[in-house]
Amino acid sequence: MRACVIAVLLQLLLSDSQAMQCREVAGQLRQIDVSVGQVFGTKSDDTVLTLYGDCWIPLPGSLKHVTVGPSGVWGVDSTNVIFKLVNGKWVEVPGQLKQIDAGGDQFIAGVSTVELIYCLGKEATVGYKGPGSPTTWQGLLGTIKYYSCGPLGCWGVNAADDIFVRKGVSPQQCQGTGDWQQVDGKLSMIEVGSEGSVYGVNAAGDVLRRDGINSSNPAGTGWTLISECGKSNHVSFDLGHLWVITNDNRILDCS
């Protein structure tokens, strides 16, 4: 195990700094998703893994993107087919997405290969067991390349790395209410934590955290730059732990 320190540099008017302590976790991943105390990830060969104690346990099937949250465990494969983990087996779901997120309050959301945005309400998400289960995907206006949801809203980034937040999302209204609100900054990917925190990675591989998020201001107030050990391409946050996938696919657990 190698340890490293992530220095948190405050970009606003703060002159002091904080630090997160990191440990390198054995193994390599291309993408990771953590929520409700669970950790899932995919490797560059589309192998799907889950962390049990200190060991990565391989799951059957091949996925390029996996997600875990209040909506269960879902994923998409290299041909953009959607799957849900039901009783330990991957069950195919009608539709196609290139990226999917289970972080909403028992609803699923994701984006297609042409960056159209879709969500599936609570009844269909929780009730999906396999062929014959209803799957009424709802479309949202706009185009997004990466989309992630949490208890206080959904966040997305578009092809130009512009950042947007969608408010008023709920299990019964997964599309949210009102229009998109653009947020300052640029990110290439973004993830909402299970408690509503928001982290992302920019084109340079820097990790940023959105500050000031609460129920009265779901968009937050500003970004804090996190200087990690090596450049990164993916992050996810749950239960006080920031999981970082570096550009060379190393796994860091930071708290």
Question: What's the CATH number where 210 sits?
Answer: 2.130.10.30
- Evaluate the CA torsion angle 226, 232, 236, 241 in order and state its sign: negative
- Whether 42 and 8 have beta carbons less than 8 Å apart is answered as no
Query: Global pTM?
Result: 0.91
Cα distance between the two ends of the chain: 16
pLDDT computed for residue 20 by the predictor: 79
pLDDT computed for residue 197 by the predictor: 96
Domain total for the chain?
A: 1
What pLDDT digit, counting tens, does each position of 14-70 carry?
323 346 788 999 999 999 999 999 999 999 999 999 999 999 999 999 999 999 999
- Whether 134 and 127 have beta carbons less than 8 Å apart is answered as yes
- How many angstroms separate the CA atoms of 86 and 142, rounded? 31
* Gyration radius from the chain CA atoms: 17
Bridge partners (DSSP) of residue 8 are 18, 226
- Whether 178 and 193 have beta carbons less than 8 Å apart is answered as no
Buried b (16+ CB within 10 A) or exposed e, 152-166: bbbbbbbeebbbbbb
The parent domain of residue 169 ranges over 3-254
**CA distances in angstroms from 161 to 39, 75, 140, listed in the order given:** 26, 23, 18
> What does the mean pLDDT of the chain come to?
91
- How many angstroms separate the CA atoms of 253 and 169, rounded? 30
What pLDDT digit, counting tens, does each position of 183-232 carry?
999 999 999 998 999 999 999 999 999 999 999 999 999 999 987 656 89
Percent of residues, the chain, with pLDDT higher than 70: 91
Checking if the pLDDT of 6 tops 80, the result is no
pLDDT computed for residue 7 by the predictor: 32
Apex CA 71: angle with CA 140 and CA 64, to 5°? Answer: 75
What average pLDDT does this structure show over 225-247?
89
3-state SS assignment for residue 118: strand
Percent of residues, the chain, with pLDDT higher than 90: 85
- Whether 178 and 170 have beta carbons less than 8 Å apart is answered as no
3-state SS assignment for residue 148: strand
